[in-house]
Homo-oligomer: A and B are copies of this chain.
Amino acid sequence: MLSSTAMTDQDPFSPQILALLDRAAAFCATRASRLTDTRRLVLGLILDSSKPVGAYDILDHLRQYQRNAAPPTVYRALDFLLAQGLIHRIERMSAFIGCAHRLECHHGHGCGHRAQFLICSGCGAVSEVEDSEISHAIASAAKKIGFKPHQSTVEIEGLCAICQQG
């Protein structure tokens, strides 16, 4: 959720988020892409949430800082962040989540990673994993039928460890 602490019109984010945003800016710099104010703000709002957030939720929050933000404002920022691999779209939820790996990745440019998502239907939390068995199984299944995979969506819905206890 959005932290109400340390939230001003000038600088809405916690030091932790600010650090991530700095890394994102540095990452963009290496790719000659521009993390503009709006894009940075949208990324911050996404990173600041413990759950995936919808485009219109982002828009509502964004309007606290940019009075005239409109749907295209948000969708353009999301398109950019998706293209940079800084966020992911969760298809089953039509919502967006920060990439748990991108800002830690040291593999160099264009390191597109194969992520999978575990969606808890109890608490709504989504965890991102990179499981090579799944990736390999997918690549292998595709190869079997002569299909050349480019990108894959793996979203597993169920109950997280915590919600299984409740």
* Other-chain contact of A145, B127, B147, B154, B155 (Cβ < 8 Å): B127
Contact residues, A122-157 vs B (CB, 8 A): 127, 129, 131, 133-134, 136-138, 140-142, 145-157
Q: What is the interface residue range for chain A against chain B?
A: 35 or more
Q: How many copies does the complex hold?
A: 2
The reply to whether the CB of A31 lies closer than 8 angstroms to some CB of chain B is no
A84 lies within 8 A of chain B by Cβ:
no
Is there contact, CB below 8 Å, between B142 and A133?
no
Residues 49-93 of chain A, each 1 if its beta carbon lies under 8 Å from chain B, else 0: 000000000000000000000000000000000000000000110
Q: Does residue A160 face the partner (Cβ distance < 8 Å to B)?
A: yes
CB distance from A113 to the nearest CB of B (A): 15
Contact assessment for B159 and A150 in the assembled complex, using a CB-CB cutoff below 8 Å: yes
User: Could you tell me if A91 and B153 are in contact, using CB atoms closer than 8 angstroms?
Assistant: yes
The answer on a CB contact under 8 Å between B133 and A148 is no
Known: A147-B160, A152-B156, A164-B148. A133 touches B129 (CB 8 A): no
Assess whether B161 is in contact with A146, with CB atoms less than 8 Å apart: yes
Q: What is the CB-to-nearest-CB distance from A129 to chain B, in angstroms, rounded to a whole number?
A: 6
Given A131-B137, A137-B131, answer yes or no on A158-B149 (Cβ-Cβ < 8 Å).
Answer: yes
